[in-house]
Chains A and B, each alone.
Chain A
């Protein structure tokens, strides 16, 4: 055994890449989970294809999981992996370019046969397979060629596991090896395997054997060399869990129901990357949550609106194509002024686009994507854990103002995870609103009546009287209603008035928006403004540029409609406002139109989050331009 010297890293980015069937998401997830409980701060980026099983061994079928673990607070999954685990040639081809120069490459050399090379496209001009492990392509990297498949088969053989089944455990070999190299604790993974595969002892035994074999391979093989450590981060004290955005959002909805003292009815149609919320809420029936897997997106939002009419908090979850289909019903909800949540986990579009990849290109759809004058509040979450609080905030606005609210998340937040310091449940806000139970109007002859459109003077919210309440029977509908009585009224003045009231009601939400926080150097010339999941990269980029001695400010908004009331004045204080967006500049365009000020849009639509360096470059350019102005 080689004497290994433990070295300490402040952070480490590992990318596990393999075929869709190789279990890379599970491997990454385990590595993340162990690191989380070890006390590292972390951020993850699952990156998988739209096809459930693309042709095996092809570049199109590569599934990867990138995780950044650190001994300090971090927000992004890292620009460039320090370590790439490539389980086959296709993974190497797809991801080698991401690996940092000098980084560590671990390959399963058993998977580099001629057919594998051919499928991955490693062929010369004559179509003959060329093995990249033999040439100069890998110069500049630290390469560990490990026969993972055959070693896994060897350790599984005495267990009576068939070779074909044993091969499936090779991802645990990779996990074991990386666990040794980066001194991850072993016990949690062993315990996890026992629990996960409790029903199939043979599989559990094979996975554990492969895991140990990988770990021992690191310990006994000279080639592997040093072990590294990443110490726990100094995070604020408290109880932590590792959370993905979709789980946080689901739990935020559960919390919203509890805080509003209302049952929740979810109408949903399966769609990537939102389906996990339907799955998670389907498990929470003991919280009084009803889930209806509807026949289509339109029915799903119809179920939600019907439930809201009946006195529940109606929720529908979807992605961009689904929001498009729901548009007409959302407009009805605007007209009949009932609380409802429409949750859009954005993905690359248009159309089916990049269903498993992230984008934030539904902002225009959320702000403008309805017929008629149909304003509604829009809230956006900015990190996986923030999805919890964003769901509560969206519900609070919907209930208080009796309006549909669109909550925007995206594929990166949905599937990415981070440690989350659990909130004190008792400190969460009470968002309950009373139902109306008594008539609210007295006619000239003394008759007491219920007027469904007689509003609260402050919020402009109309009364919410639900079926089952005697004497308050009333009809709502899509036809224009008379202010007050709610009777059908097509008169010109009334339509103008009702249109303006609906607009004013949404604008009134601004009164609840806290002042916009400015981070970094508030007196800088350049402000980086953000919304949604760009928060992570912006935060990291601003930190780095400030460490490099530059002055730069940052602000992140979660309310997109109405905008924070202080935003216009805030933006005007800076010579340059840089706005990175995972779209073609939708918020930038909106802000230019709203405030008549210029915005430097930084756009990326590659299905991936921003790299920190991309935003740093934009900051440098903006600072130089701002300097040239003065």
Chain B
């Protein structure tokens, strides 16, 4: 509805009375706090907000938000949320999922929600491990990962969540991490502002089964050299003195360069609104492993028709053409005869 008023709320209005039951030290706490703090800033009302999750540690999230919510079944949150959003385009619908929930058992629903561009904010907590089932490798775990189900190391290569999202025609794709509340909030705010499906990968630490997975990139002491912050309209630079950057070579591939070697004018200027996804895709594949500089921020943010609105428009068009539904007329519509 267009008549949405700006709701004045505080963090307390968004916090449910339920005890939070994640392991002490879990990265999920930081994400929950970031969201609960952010919501008052968005000017929306808790009663018009729905959190839908699947199954897994992250999927407990809706219980802790004082909104409408559904803790559903493994992998199915994007499908159920599609039902919520299609029925009620007036609602703010968030999907909370994880690497197993969203990319393994629910991979099909995730890609189709993105393809349809349903107005959902999808937060994928990527800890590269199955936590709730106590430590099996996940579809984002690196090859060779030794876990309870892979004592000799896993042999299947991982998904890159951002590549999957971009390949599925996602109109908004971003990455953030659980150690930087402000970056999370900026990213979630942009995701919320985007009309259509927004996909946010959150690097999230599982301190019990996969502790320190992202330390080489996101720990405070390495961040400056290892995190590449994407800012729309600005050259992609990183490093303590912004001395390094991303350049597109003559072969079309992206590479990391020293600015001094190539000159600032050779550095790629980030354009999240580029209609073609190939540069966003290249940025998503820039880091070959967790020991190389990794881009964060909004990779892609483009306008595309939103699904629930398109559905509503067809309903309105049909009503205009045919008038409101008349049951008696419908029953007689295939021809009748009198006895």
Enumerate chain A interface residues (CB-CB to B < 8 A): 33, 36-37, 39, 232, 235-243, 247, 251, 254-255, 258, 263, 265, 267, 284-290, 292, 294-296, 298-300, 302-312, 314, 328-329, 332, 336, 421-423, 425, 466-479, 487-488
* B12 on the A face (CB < 8 A): no
- B52 CB within 8 Å of chain A: yes
A603 CB → nearest B CB, Å: 35
B67 within 8 A of A: yes
- A312, B87: Cβ atoms under 8 Å? yes
A299 near B87 with CB under 8 A, answer no
**Contact partner, A265, options B52, B86, B112, B323, Cβ 8 Å:** B86
Known: A284-B330, A296-B108, A467-B68. 4 other contacts (CB 8 A): A241-B336, A286-B322, A475-B69, A476-B71
A-B contact pairs, 22 of them (CB 8 A): A232-B339, A241-B336, A243-B334, A254-B330, A284-B325, A286-B318, A286-B319, A286-B321, A287-B325, A292-B311, A302-B72, A302-B109, A303-B82, A306-B87, A307-B87, A310-B91, A328-B73, A466-B68, A473-B68, A475-B18, A477-B69, A487-B18
Contact B68 A474 (CB under 8 A): yes
Give CA–CA (A235, B337) in the complex, Å.
Answer: 12
Contacts of B325 in A (CB 8 A): 254, 258, 284, 286-288
A36 surroundings in chain B (CB, below 8 A): 337
Judged by a CB distance under 8 angstroms, whether B267 is at the interface is no
Nearest CB of B to A124, in Å: 49
The answer to whether the Cβ of B292 comes within 8 Å of any Cβ in the partner chain is: no
Whether, in the assembled complex, B251 has its beta carbon less than 8 Å from a beta carbon of chain A, the answer is no
Which B residues are in CB contact (< 8 Å) with A294? 79, 82, 112
Check B336 against A477 for contact (C-beta < 8 Å): no
Minimum-distance CB pairs A-B, first 5: A306-B83, A477-B71, A302-B79, A287-B325, A285-B318
Do residues B72 and A468 form an inter-chain contact, with CB atoms below 8 A? no
Q: Interface with A: B43-51, B145-153, B188-196, B254-262, which one?
A: B43-51
Cross-chain contact B80 with A302 (CB below 8 angstroms): yes
Residues in B with CB closer than 8 Å to A232 are 339
Smallest CB separation, B66 vs chain A (Å)? 6
CA distance A314 to B65 in the complex (A): 25
Collect the chain B residues with CB atoms within 8 Å of residue A255's CB: 327
- B residues near A247, Cβ cutoff 8 Å: 334
Q: Which of B73, B76, B83, B324 has the most CB of A within 10 A?
A: B83
Determine how close the nearest CB of chain B comes to the CB of A519; give it in whole angstroms: 23
* Chain A residues within an 8 Å CB radius of B324: 286-287
Which residues in window 85-131 of B have CB below 8 A to A? 85-88, 90-91, 108-109, 112
Interface residues of B in 9-33 (CB under 8 A from A): 16, 18
**Highest count of chain A CB atoms <10 Å: which of B108, B317, B321:** B108
B335 interface residue (CB < 8 Å to A): yes
Q: Tell me the complex Cα distance, A310–B18, Å.
A: 23
Q: Which of A265, A288, A476 contacts B70 (CB 8 A)?
A: A476
B71:A475 contact, CB within 8 angstroms = yes
Taking a contact as CB atoms under 8 Å apart, the answer to whether A311 and B339 are in contact is no
A307 CA to B86 CA in the complex, in Å?
7
In Å, the complex CA distance between A265 and B330 comes to 19
What is B's interface to A at a CB cutoff of 8 Å?
A: 16, 18, 45-50, 52, 55, 62-63, 65-73, 76, 79-88, 90-91, 108-109, 112, 311, 314-315, 317-319, 321-325, 327-328, 330-332, 334-339
By secondary structure, the A interface counts as mixed
Report whether A39 and B339 are in contact in the complex, using a CB–CB cutoff of 8 Å: yes
A303 nearest in chain B by CB position? B83
Separation of A472 and B86 alpha carbons in the complex (Å): 21
**B68 contacts which chain A residues (CB < 8 A)?**
309, 466-467, 473-475
Contact B79 A477 (CB under 8 A): no
Select A303's contact among B48, B72, B86, beta carbons within 8 Å.
B86
CB-nearest residue of chain B to A241:
B336
Residues of A within 8 A of B46 (CB): 473
Cα separation A258 to B328 with both chains bound (whole Å): 11
CB distance A302 to B76 under 8 Å? yes
Q: Report the nearest A residue to B48, measured CB to CB.
A: A468
Question: How far apart sit A251 and B333, CA to CA, in the bound complex (Å)?
Answer: 11
* List of B residues within 8 angstroms of A466 by Cβ: 68
Are B112 and A295 closer than 8 Å at their CB atoms? yes
CA distance A488 to B17 in the complex (A): 12
Expressed in whole angstroms, the minimum distance between the Cβ of A183 and any Cβ of chain B is: 17
- In the complex, what's the smallest C-beta–C-beta distance from A399 to chain B, in angstroms? 15
- With a 10 A CB-CB cut-off, give which of B65, B66, B87, B109 has the most chain A CB atoms: B87
Instruction: Give Cα A80 to B330, complex, Å.
Output: 35
Query: Which residue of B49, B109, B332 contacts A295 across the interface (Cβ within 8 Å)?
Result: B109
CB of B337 within 8 A of CB of A467, answer no
Are the CB atoms of B47 and A311 closer together than 8 Å?
A: no
Contact B87 A310 (CB under 8 A): yes
Flag if A298 contacts B91 (CB, 8 Å). no
Q: Is the CB of A478 within 8 A of B83?
A: no
A266–chain B nearest beta-carbon distance, Å:
10
How many Å lie between the Cα of A309 and that of B330 in the bound state? 28
CA distance A238 to B90 in the complex (A): 44
**CB pair A303 B79 closer than 8 Å:** yes
Q: Considering only CB atoms, which chain A residue lies closest to B51 in the complex?
A: A475
Please tell me if the beta carbons of B82 and A302 are within 8 angstroms of each other in the complex.
yes
In the complex, what distance in Å separates the CA atom of A255 from the CA atom of B73? 31
Q: Is the CB of B108 within 8 A of A299?
A: yes
Known: A241-B335, A473-B47. A290 touches B67 (CB 8 A): no
Chain B residue contacts of A265, Cβ below 8 A = 83, 86-87
Report B242 CB to chain A, min CB distance, Å.
Answer: 43
Q: Let me know if B328 and A425 touch, CB within 8 A.
A: yes
- With A258-B327, A328-B73, A467-B48 in contact, do A473 and B67 touch (Cβ < 8 Å)? yes
Across the interface, do A305 and B334 meet the contact criterion of CB distance under 8 Å? no
Q: Which residues of B contact A473 (CB under 8 A)?
A: 46-47, 66-69
The interface residues of chain B lying within 8 Å CB-to-CB of A468 are 47-48, 88, 90-91
Taking the closest CB of chain A, its distance from the CB of B335, in whole angstroms, is 6
Residues of B close to A423: CB separation below 8 A: 331
The distance in angstroms between the C-alpha atoms of A232 and B311, with both chains bound, is 46
Residue in B48, B69, B323, B338 whose CB lies within 8 Å of A286: B323
Choose among A299, A467, A475, A477 the residue that contacts B82 (Cβ–Cβ < 8 A): A299
* A286-B322, A295-B112, A311-B88 as given contacts; A306 in contact with B79, CB under 8 Å: yes
- Minimum distance in angstroms from B203 CB to a CB of chain A: 26
Q: How far is the CA of A285 from the CA of B316 in the complex (A)?
A: 8
- Known A-B contacts A299-B76, A306-B84; A37 and B337 likewise in contact (beta carbons under 8 Å): yes
- Which chain A residue lies CB-closest to B331? A422
Contact of A314 among B47, B83, B315, B337 (CB under 8 A): B83
Report the separation of the CA atoms of residues A295 and B168 in the bound assembly, to the nearest whole angstrom.
13
Contact of A235 among B83, B318, B327, B339 (CB under 8 A): B339
A469 to B324, CA, bound (A): 27
Bound complex: CA A336 to CA B52 (Å): 13
- B83:A467 contact, CB within 8 angstroms: no
CB distance from A254 to the nearest CB of B (A): 6
Nearest residue, chain B, Cβ from A294: B79
In the assembled complex, the Cα of A336 lies from the Cα of B336 at a distance in Å of 43
Inter-chain CA distance A95–B38, complex, in Å, is 71
CA distance A471 to B47 in the complex (A): 7
Partner of B339, one of A240, A285, A472: A240
Bound CA–CA A290/B89 (angstroms): 12
Complex CA gap A421/B112 in Å reads 43
Determine how close the nearest CB of chain B comes to the CB of A415; give it in whole angstroms: 15
Q: A241-B334, A302-B79 are in contact. Are A475 and B70 (CB under 8 A)?
A: yes
**Bound form: Cα–Cα A466–B47 in Å:** 9
Q: Which residues of chain B are near A421, meaning CB under 8 Å?
A: 339
CA distance A39 to B45 in the complex (A): 60
Cβ–Cβ contact A488 & B63, under 8 A:
yes
A243 proximity list for chain B (CB < 8 A): 334
**With A241-B331, A306-B82 as contacts: A475 and B63 at CB distance below 8 Å:** yes
Complex CA–CA separation, A330 to B203 (angstroms): 33
CB distance from B72 to the nearest CB of A (A): 6
In the complex formed, the residue of A with least CB distance to B64 is A475
Assembly CA distance A477 to B72 (angstroms):
5
Contacts of A478 in B (CB 8 A): 55, 71-73
